[in-house]
């Protein structure tokens, strides 16, 4: 059995984000069950969504890296989903992570194995920058989104945002299913790539260089120089 951190269950995420980014409130509920139903619906529509608990259960969508994207999402929630939504001001955004209740539970090796097996099903799938279509091509962060969604966990769209969720993990504490992140350049601090650790110092990822989903070693010189850290979203 492996111990990992969840917020209530698989459908809840921990967002340890920079507070300068933009969040949207898309509903507030008295009962958790109602909030979960709303969250699952928005997750099925590919919104990055979580629940903040502070007396009531608030549906939080985001984070978004720029205000224009956040404003567009608010309009989309109002017009297409018929959901009352508005941008959260910066002061309230600072309280978001403080209101997420975390509990430690045990997840079986079978569940972790299932996650890795889902990832293996993508081996050989074409890489395409910004791609979100398995037939035409996918990029590294969408690959991780797709795999984790099979267990009901919704990740942000980009590797840079995925790097800010969940529990930080040291390299010698990696377990299968952890996300591993790499800088675009050896001396560049910005995250440019993500993959999933599968054990034995190996990870599976949608590779720009290979133009497909492959398995690589963390010990390869290219990745050793660019390794930036790991996260455990579950």
Domains in the chain (CATH in brackets) are 2-103 (3.30.70.1070), 109-232 (3.90.1720.10)
Handedness of CA 161, 165, 168, 169 (dihedral sign): negative
The residue ranking higher by pLDDT, 99 or 81, is 81
Closest by alpha carbon to 162, among 211, 108, 229, 212? 229
Mean pLDDT of 203-232: 95
What band does 9 get if pLDDT is binned at 50, 70 and 90? very low
pLDDT at 103: 36
The residue ranking higher by pLDDT, 156 or 173, is 173
| 22 is an active site residue | no
Q: For residue 19, is pLDDT > 70? A: no
| 205 is an active site residue | yes
| 193 is an active site residue | yes
- Lowest-pLDDT range of 35-49, 74-88, 101-115: 101-115
Handedness of CA 234, 71, 65, 57 (dihedral sign): negative
Cα 88 from Cα 109, distance rounded (Å) = 39
Between helix 140-149 and helix 109-120 the angle, nearest 10°, is: 140
Q: For residue 142, is pLDDT > 90? A: yes
Mean pLDDT of 137-148: 94
At 183-208, the pLDDT tens digits run 988 887 789 999 999 999 999 999 99
pLDDT at 90: 60
- Lowest-pLDDT range of 38-42, 51-55, 160-164: 51-55
What band does 101 get if pLDDT is binned at 50, 70 and 90? very low
Cα 201 from Cα 203, distance rounded (Å) = 7
Mean pLDDT of 65-84: 91
What band does 18 get if pLDDT is binned at 50, 70 and 90? very low
């Amino acid at each position: 059995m492996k111990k990992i951190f969840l917020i209530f269950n698989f459908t809840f995420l921990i967002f340890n984000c920079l507070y300068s980014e933009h969040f949207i409130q898309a509903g507030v509920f008295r009962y958790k069950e109602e909030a979960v139903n709303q969250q699952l619906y928005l997750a099925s529509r590919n919104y990055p969504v979580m629940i903040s608990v502070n007396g009531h259960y608030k549906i939080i969508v985001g984070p978004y890296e720029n205000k224009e994207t956040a404003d567009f999402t608010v309009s989309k929630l109002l017009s297409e989903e018929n959901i009352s939504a508005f941008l959260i001001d910066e002061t309230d955004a600072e309280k978001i992570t403080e209101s997420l209740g975390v509990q430690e539970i045990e997840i079986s090796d079978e569940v972790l194995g299932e996650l890795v097996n889902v990832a293996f099903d993508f081996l050989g799938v074409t890489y395409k920058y910004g791609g979100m279509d398995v037939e035409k091509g996918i990029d590294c962060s969408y690959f991780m989104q797709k795999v984790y969604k099979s267990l009901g966990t919704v990740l942000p769209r980009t590797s840079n945002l995925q790097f800010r969720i969940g529990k930080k993990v040291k390299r010698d504490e990696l377990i299968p299913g952890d996300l591993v992140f790499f800088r675009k350049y050896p001396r560049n601090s910005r995250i440019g790539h993500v993959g999933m650790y599968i054990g034995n110092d190996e990870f599976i990822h949608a590779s720009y260089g290979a133009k497909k989903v492959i398995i690589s070693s963390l010990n390869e010189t290219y990745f050793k120089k660019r390794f930036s850290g790991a996260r455990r979203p579950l």
